[in-house]
Amino acid sequence: MAFSDGHFFIESDIIIEHLIHSPDGTPSVLEELMQKSLCFTSAINASEMLFNSKNESEALSIKVILNALKVLGINSRYSLDVGFYREKVSSSRDALICSLVKSNKLTIVTFDEGKYSKTGLKVIIPLRK
């Protein structure tokens, strides 16, 4: 898998794929990314995953992964660009993520091909394992 030299913003779907990835000797997408560059996610993504965990075991697995990533907080300056993304994404959550990614000069990595396609941001859509 070829990745750019920049740092990555890891969307929740990539983290979830890592958590359910079968250990057949091939690395998950997240493992490959972490070998290439720094990987970031956000407090939004972390909160969503932990809120939706089914039990303490799942929550612990999520926390272990989050400890291996750089988790960005939500700075008030990110709200200033949200309006720019209003027509480009489907939710205020995604607009806030776009602003965070733009401010930190990151490349989004997600399996969702259409989610950020109109934003003008760098997006990588890896092949599913």
The predicted pLDDT at position 50 comes to: 98
The predicted pLDDT at position 4 comes to: 53
What's the whole-model pTM score?
0.92
The predicted pLDDT at position 129 comes to: 63
10 touches 30 (CB < 8 A): yes
Joined together, the tokens standing for residue 84 give: 């720019």
Say which residues have a Cβ less than 8 Å from residue 47's Cβ, sequence separation at least 6: none
Which residue segments constitute the domains of the chain, with CATH numbers given? 8-17+29-124 (3.40.50.1010)
- What is the secondary structure of 32-101 as a DSSP string? HHHHHS-EEEEHHHHHHHHHH-SSHHHHHHHHHHHHHSEEE---GGGGGGGGGGTTTSSSHHHHHHHHHH
Would you give the distance in Å from CA 38 to the centre of its chain? 12
CA distance 57 to 63: 10
Residue 15 is given by DSSP the state H
User: By C-alpha distance, which of 58, 1, 6 is closest to 31?
Assistant: 1
- What is the secondary structure of 95-128 as a DSSP string? HHHHHHHHHTT-EEE-S-TTTTTTS-S-EE-PPP
Give the pLDDT means over successive 10-residue stretches in the chain (129 positions): 74 96 86 96 98 97 98 96 96 98 97 97 90
